[in-house]
């Protein structure tokens, strides 16, 4: 079995990789799924245009557009690009409309343009797909614009195409997530996979399958070994399985992306991240299945891996939260759900259990035969003037009833004894 120092070193490496693998803020895009923007009048508002985000949508066939609006100050920068996961010839275009712009490009007849506004049109074109390593996927960026406006006012952005297809509008140049956005990121990514057209089976199936297989294996192990896991152990086990489920889902998405982009340097980042999640999940399972209760080492392992997992949105957030919760559970709570204290030791050492039961079997008939109505008293409860014999002194309790029953049964000697020695009767009893 691997020693604890080795596991501690492995944990340190895992944490380092988790921290280094966290996406750079400049590349982090918060996902959004607006439902408005079908017409210019109900354009989807973009707040904080400098914040990086991706607004996901879809265009119907026959020529249509989706509209967004943003309030800009004079000299403010806006950066926009359009992407699509579509593997066909679909190439959505981009238009920016507002005051103080120098008109470029031609607008299609179906595109709505605000009054007294100039427009900059960037036609969509297909280029080589780009691989995203932290949320594995292959995307085609078809149009991009980065400009600084010369006049303050309300600006409109349109994504349009003649064909039908899914698109994403990226906005901003400063990566930033709110706490809620970060906690919901794993579930937002499932929506992104559905938006890509993967379907529920490919979007969530690998993770659900890994979760069910993991839980089934643990239950089978517990039944086969007659183990009854405590609340602490179940929390560690489920957290570890959720980390492994994240790794499996990420690996499945990576394989799909590789079929589009082929071999690329970004794959090394994804593979390192997948391996890291597997190691972290295995360490949590080790704490839950092999550690004898909530040791300090186990608590530290779960706490550190849980916090690191929150920083990476691992384990669908539930995994890191369970790990942190298990790390701080008070001792009287961690044992909930397990058998009474000492059951595991009894299962591991049946000889000790047999010896204990034999000792009870030897003592019980004597006490019942000699003193049916006896009561248990402390070893120090010896009558005045009596001297405790060595055998009685080593016993955990004395049997006493009706005053002077002690000398009668030879449990201690008195000064009036003829030989002044210990009782032969006690020797026989013991």
Distances in whole angstroms, Cα of residue 76 to Cα of each of 172, 198, 394: 11, 38, 88
Q: Which domain holds residue 267?
A: 4-23+186-334
Phi, psi angle pair for 129, to nearest 5°: -65, 150
What is the spatial distance between Cα 93 and Cα 165, in angstroms, rounded to a whole number? Answer: 12
Query: Are residues 209 and 165 part of one domain?
Result: no
- Residue 350 in domain: no
Please state the length of the chain. 430
Instruction: Return the pLDDT at 358.
Output: 43
- Residue 192 in domain: yes
Domain boundary among 154, 176, 198: 176
Query: Are residues 157 and 62 part of one domain?
Result: yes
- Are 94 and 145 in contact, with CB atoms under 8 Å apart? yes
Query: Are residues 39 and 170 part of one domain?
Result: yes
Instruction: Return the pLDDT at 313.
Output: 82
- Residue 364 in domain: no
What is the spatial distance between Cα 228 and Cα 257, in angstroms, rounded to a whole number? Answer: 42
Q: Where residue 131 sits, what CATH number does that domain have?
A: 2.60.120.380
Query: Are residues 205 and 85 part of one domain?
Result: no
Query: Are residues 55 and 120 part of one domain?
Result: yes
Query: Are residues 82 and 146 part of one domain?
Result: yes
Count how many domains the chain has: 3
Query: Are residues 33 and 19 part of one domain?
Result: no
What is the spatial distance between Cα 171 and Cα 92, in angstroms, rounded to a whole number? Answer: 16
Query: Are residues 260 and 124 part of one domain?
Result: no
What is the spatial distance between Cα 241 and Cα 238, in angstroms, rounded to a whole number? Answer: 5
- Residue 280 in domain: yes
How would you write the pLDDT of the chain (430 residues) with one tens digit per residue?
A: 556 666 666 666 666 665 565 554 335 688 999 988 999 999 999 998 988 999 999 999 889 999 999 999 999 999 999 999 999 899 999 999 999 899 999 999 999 999 989 999 999 999 999 999 988 999 999 999 999 999 999 999 999 999 999 999 999 987 778 888 888 889 999 999 999 999 999 999 999 999 999 999 999 999 999 988 899 999 999 999 999 999 999 999 999 999 999 988 889 989 999 999 999 999 999 999 988 778 898 999 999 999 989 888 899 999 999 999 999 999 888 877 765 443 444 334 444 444 444 444 444 443 344 444 433 333 344 444 444 444 444 444 433 443 444 444 444 444 444 444 444 444 443 3
Instruction: Return the pLDDT at 332.
Output: 83
- Residue 339 in domain: no
Query: Are residues 166 and 126 part of one domain?
Result: yes
Rg (CA), the chain: 36
- Residue 346 in domain: no
Q: Which of 54, 60, 71 is nearest to 110 (CA)?
A: 60
Query: Are residues 19 and 73 part of one domain?
Result: no
- Compute, in degrees rounded to 10, the torsion defined by CA atoms 229, 232, 237, 243: 170
Query: Are residues 373 and 279 part of one domain?
Result: no
- Residue 349 in domain: no
Domain boundary among 334, 349, 379: 334
- Residue 193 in domain: yes
Domain boundary among 124, 141, 176: 176
Query: Are residues 243 and 157 part of one domain?
Result: no
């Amino acid at each position: 079995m691997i020693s604890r120092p080795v596991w501690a070193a492995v944990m340190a490496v895992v944490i380092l990789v988790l921290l280094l693998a966290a996406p750079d803020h400049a590349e982090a895009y918060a996902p959004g799924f607006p439902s408005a923007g079908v017409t210019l009048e109900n354009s989807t508002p973009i707040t904080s245009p400098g914040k990086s985000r991706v607004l996901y949508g879809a265009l119907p066939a026959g020529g249509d557009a989706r509209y967004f609006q943003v309030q800009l100050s004079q000299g403010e920068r806006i950066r926009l690009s359009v992407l699509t996961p579509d593997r066909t010839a679909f190439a959505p275009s981009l238009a920016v409309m507002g005051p103080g712009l120098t008109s470029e490009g031609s607008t299609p007849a179906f595109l709505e343009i605000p009054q007294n506004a100039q427009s900059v049109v960037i036609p969509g074109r297909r280029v080589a797909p780009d691989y995203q390593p932290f949320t594995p996927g292959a995307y085609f960026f078809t149009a991009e614009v980065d400009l600084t406006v010369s006049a303050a006012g309300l600006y409109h952005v349109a994504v349009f195409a003649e064909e039908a297809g899914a698109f994403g509008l990226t906005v901003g140049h400063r990566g930033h997530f709110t706490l809620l956005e970060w906690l919901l990121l794993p579930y937002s990514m499932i929506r992104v996979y559905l938006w890509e057209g993967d379907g529920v089976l490919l979007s969530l199936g690998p993770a659900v399958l890994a979760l069910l297989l993991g839980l089934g294996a643990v239950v089978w192990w517990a039944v086969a070994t007659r183990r009854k896991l405590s609340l602490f152990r179940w929390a560690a086990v489920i957290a570890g399985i959720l980390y492994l489920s994240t790794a499996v889902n990420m690996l499945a998405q990576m394989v799909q992306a590789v079929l589009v982009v082929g071999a690329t340097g970004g794959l090394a980042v994804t593979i390192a991240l997948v391996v890291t999640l597997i190691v972290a999940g295995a360490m949590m399972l080790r704490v839950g299945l092999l550690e004898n209760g909530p040791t300090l080492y186990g608590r530290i392992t779960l706490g550190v891996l849980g916090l690191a997992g929150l920083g990476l949105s691992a384990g669908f957030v539930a995994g890191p939260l369970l790990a942190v919760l298990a790390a701080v559970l008070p001792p009287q709570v961690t044992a909930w759900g397990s058998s009474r204290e000492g059951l595991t030791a009894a299962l591991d050492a049946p000889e000790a259990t047999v010896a204990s039961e034999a000792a009870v079997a030897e003592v019980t008939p004597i006490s019942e035969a000699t003193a049916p109505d006896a009561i248990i008293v402390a070893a120090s409860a010896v009558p005045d003037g009596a001297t405790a014999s060595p055998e009685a002194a080593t016993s955990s309790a004395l049997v006493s009833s009706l005053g002077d029953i002690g000398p009668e049964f030879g449990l201690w000697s008195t000064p009036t004894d003829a030989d002044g020695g210990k009782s032969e009767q006690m020797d026989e009893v013991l």
